[in-house]
Structure 1
């Protein structure tokens, strides 16, 4: 246990002067800077969290959020309203290398039809993968403290600011840091954290700590009925929850709103596990190898021929395919744009985004 600080009378008085709440004082309501529709996602002086499992497209989702803040406008269902002196954005990525971070940066500019060969004036993206957790924290704190006009800070991979995701001391230290920085600098910080594989909870003690302290928590997950789309919904909010919305990845590899999306109603009792799921039951590398076999002779015309070739390709990778599985697989591959249709021809797209 850490040694408890002993305050001098002067230090205690300073804390009291700064922290005492009085009925004689006028406190200004925090500006609402990020919304989903009419629901408040983020205010200056607070932080929010995105959670989701692997491959749920969390980074695609936050790209849309940053694009909205960059334009101080609307992208997908995100609406940004930052004051003129709070228009600078810091985007920290702790997981990806420089090439992948650059792809994300290009995606943000493409969402706004900005030049792809020029850095936006009010956005700085920093890749922190190579550093240890203490150095990452030091860089984040220093840049927030020195860059002028910062209004939004995104930390994609808040888990990587800790050595041990289940260490309560580290988790409390990071959540306290976020609360201090947002309050002192009057900014909004949005963090991203993985969910546990086996349940819906944010990972580790840091997940519990952030859930308890965050202004809002949103979840990004792959739709259970259509694996080509991701659904964004409110989990916790100090404001009213927003209606879930969905997005897909279009041919330009950008997040695109799915119009008129309505979530599937949940029935009573324990949900049935689907017998076959091409997205979760088959890895990306197996998909690629199987499709290379299936399309080794080029494009495929008739649907029945496509089904037969898919069965042949996937069975070459040790995955048995009956008729129903092949039908479900063909639909999935088309929805994910792993197979493209050109007239009556089916063409393998090796540049698909999984």
Structure 2
């Protein structure tokens, strides 16, 4: 397991790893866990250090279980540099394939909302197998983990996990999953927003076109889009056009309380 910190000081990296070990009930670093603070290197040197150490440890341990890079934006000049963004994501994608491993990266949202930063965020959105967001809950002392993208799956059907800082434990602790009702509410709200987007541009649509637009908007596979259409019909978010059963129109969202 390889951990690279490109953002924080050596002192903070040490504290984070100490908390990690405490959470695992260990007093010393296991040989197979390697953690490095790369802030003393230039951005170009950081990526080279990651590449070279991955190669070294792949042969030393006969494989790499996982790589964590906190965070990816500090490997390039800026998140809005399109050329460098494409290059770094392609390189990490290549390394994951070569070493048959999972690479986890951290990227902050833009301050104005839930959108990944710049060209780097767009490229990660396109290439990543999964994207998880960490947000403050309605109770600001609690953070929630939501799936934004799950390749070959439905992000809106993944349970929402909760965690919060525990003063006595001196670290964040897991608080379990949010109730199923809240997961369903999130799914309904997201699909209402999708319906408003689609039908804000047209009054009616065929099943095939609706599935294609849902795939494009939510970045999901065809079968997931079809399951969302079924859910939207059940919740009366959309309905068949009475004058032409080949088309769908938006449901009466106000009457449905949406």
Q: State whether TM-score is above 0.5.
A: yes
The offset of 1:165, in angstroms, is 1.6
- C-alpha separation in 2, matches of 1:183 and 1:261: 34
Q: Is 2:35 aligned against 1:125? A: yes
Give the corresponding residue for 1:249. 165
Give the corresponding residue for 1:213. 127
Q: Deviations over 1:117-174 (max 9, x none)?
A: x222211110011211100011000000111332210000100010122111101100
Give the corresponding residue for 1:173. 87
- C-alpha separation in 2, matches of 1:129 and 1:90: 16
- C-alpha separation in 1, matches of 2:36 and 2:148: 28
Q: Is 2:178 aligned against 1:261? A: yes
Question: Runs of 4+ in structure 1 displaced over 2 angstroms?
Answer: 259-270
Q: Deviations over 1:211-253 (max 9, x none)?
A: 1000000000111x21111100100111433211111121212
Are 2:159 and 2:177, in contact at CA under 8 Å, matched by a contact in 1?
A: no
Are 2:160 and 2:177, in contact at CA under 8 Å, matched by a contact in 1?
A: no
- C-alpha separation in 2, matches of 1:243 and 1:113: 27
Residues 56-67 of structure 1: pairs in structure 2 closer than 5 A? none
Q: Is 2:103 aligned against 1:189? A: yes
- C-alpha separation in 2, matches of 1:205 and 1:253: 37
Are 2:159 and 2:178, in contact at CA under 8 Å, matched by a contact in 1?
A: no
Q: Deviations over 1:80-118 (max 9, x none)?
A: xxxxxxxxx010000111111011111111111111xx2
Q: What SS does the aligned partner of 1:198 have? A: coil
Give the corresponding residue for 2:26. 114
- C-alpha separation in 1, matches of 2:107 and 2:52: 22
Q: What SS does the aligned partner of 1:258 have? A: strand
2:150 to 220, 232, 237: 237
Give the corresponding residue for 1:152. 66
The offset of 1:259, in angstroms, is 3.4
Q: Cα–Cα, structure 1 residues 121 and 227, in superposed 2: closer, same or farther, change >3 Å?
A: same
Residues 2-151 of structure 1: pairs in structure 2 closer than 5 A? 89-115=1-27, 118-147=28-57, 148=60, 149-151=63-65
- C-alpha separation in 2, matches of 1:119 and 1:178: 26
Give the corresponding residue for 2:220. none
Give the corresponding residue for 1:164. 78
List gaps (5 residues or longer) in structure 1.
Answer: 1-88, 271-354
List gaps (5 residues or longer) in structure 2.
Answer: 194-258
Residues 289-304 of structure 1: pairs in structure 2 closer than 5 A? none
2:139 to 211, 215, 226: 226
Structure showing greater Rg: 1
Q: Deviations over 1:44-101 (max 9, x none)?
A: xxxxxxxxxxxxxxxxxxxxxxxxxxxxxxxxxxxxxxxxxxxxx0100001111110
- C-alpha separation in 2, matches of 1:253 and 1:229: 15
Q: What SS does the aligned partner of 2:107 have? A: strand
Q: Deviations over 1:298-341 (max 9, x none)?
A: xxxxxxxxxxxxxxxxxxxxxxxxxxxxxxxxxxxxxxxxxxxx
Highest relative contact order (Cα 8 Å, sep 6+), 1 or 2?
1
Q: Normalising by structure 2, what TM-score?
A: 0.65
- Calculate the aligned-residue CA RMSD, in Å: 2.0
Give the corresponding residue for 1:350. none
The offset of 1:260, in angstroms, is 5.2
Q: Normalising by structure 1, what TM-score?
A: 0.48
